Amino acid sequence: MSGQGPLAGLKVIELARILAGPWAGQLLADMGAEVTKIEAPQGDDTRQWGPPFIEREGDRSAAYFHSCNRGKRSVVVDLASDAGQAEMRARIAEADILIENFKVGGLVKYGLDYASAAAINPRLVYCSITGFGQDGPYSGRAGYDYIIQGMSGFMSITGPEGGEPLRAGVAITDLFTGLYASNAILAAIHQRARTGRGQHIDMALLDCAVAATANQSLNYLATGEAPGRIGNTHPNLAPYQVFETSDGHIIIAVGNDGQFRRLCGLLDLQALADDPDYAQNADRVAHRAALTEALGAATRTMTKAALLAACEAEGVPAGPINDMDEVFSDPQVVARGLRISPEGVPGVRSPVRFSDAELSFERAAPKLGKG
């Protein structure tokens, strides 16, 4: 296996704060790119987004900051100063990639917009991340994950039926945008190898969030009917939901007719398996309420452990609902080494694995202004 990451040799400038841009930059750093995070004198806002904080000698930064800035170098630059702008032009001349999340047009006054950067370095891949993109009626607005979750339709399909719309437990539109951005950046680098030219990538949180509604948006486009909130059930499958047991809850995720029949068998509900109302998935979706009631009456007589073991033995997809303590003590999570500790700072391993390349997890998130 190669001792270097697959992106070794690529130089990245990260002019981004909070989460979407830093998430993209962290993934590139994990894969071996040299990522230099440009920070204002007060640092990335998320250094103060605590508690909790992680204390190191000479540094106190929030756990939030550490979640998305591993493996980078930090350089403090005053973009408003002539010296700072000159330093940035010198860095751009040598860079392969620049990631920024300023408001549309926000870098023009510093001479660091795409047109200015491309004039310095035509091979530069320049990725702009904004709430709404470089054009359109909302392009001048600031973008916030919570608001984007609402605007994208995501919250309209998340939460209990008849209840309040809910956001995801993490800033999912920022995270999706960071992942989409890193894919786009690497595609542009691949194209540059053929053309010799860089280009401008326009990433918008709203675009990414709408794209991530996936099958739910297609449900609407196929029918003209907006899907609503259905709690922990699935709009297209049944039974595919949370079930109560005698000592808690588990998830049962039946994906085909054979799995359904096996579930009925382990719950001693053969009559359900033979009932034409539940013969195929579309039938089960149509009669979801009655099916859920019948299955739930049986699952409530069993413990979580017993029901999970029975599902495992019969090949019925099922799983527990873990809290974070249970996640990081789970044997599979332990075996995959997802908990890491670069320089003594806790972290979560990148999920990317290569057969012929090493990822880099040796360096924690940087102290402010430290390489």
**Locus of tokens 């550490």:** 66
Torsion of CA 210, 150, 170, 158, to 10 degrees: -90
Active site residue 174: yes
Cβ–Cβ contacts within 10 Å for residue 355, how many? 6
Tokens of 103: 């408001």
Mention every residue, 6+ apart, whose C-beta is less than 8 A from residue 336: 349
**Got the DSSP string for 89-145?**
HHHHHH-SEEEE-PPTTTTGGGT-SHHHHHHH-TT-EEEEEESS-SSSTTTTS---H
The CA dihedral of 281, 285, 288, 291, to the nearest 10 degrees, is -10
The one catalytic residue among 174, 202, 275, 325:
174
What residues contact residue 92 under an 8 Å CB cut-off, 6+ apart? 13, 98, 112, 117, 120, 121, 124
According to the 3-state scheme, what is the secondary structure of 267-324?
CCCHHHHHCHHHCCHHHHHHCHHHHHHHHHHHHCCCCHHHHHHHHHHHCCCEEECCCH
Question: What is the rounded CA–CA span in Å between residue 121 and residue 211?
Answer: 32
Strand order in the sheet with 199-204: 73-76, 34-39, 11-15, 97-100, 125-130, 199-204
The residue type of 362 is E
**126 within 8 A of 98, measured Cβ to Cβ:** yes
Residues taking part in catalysis: 174
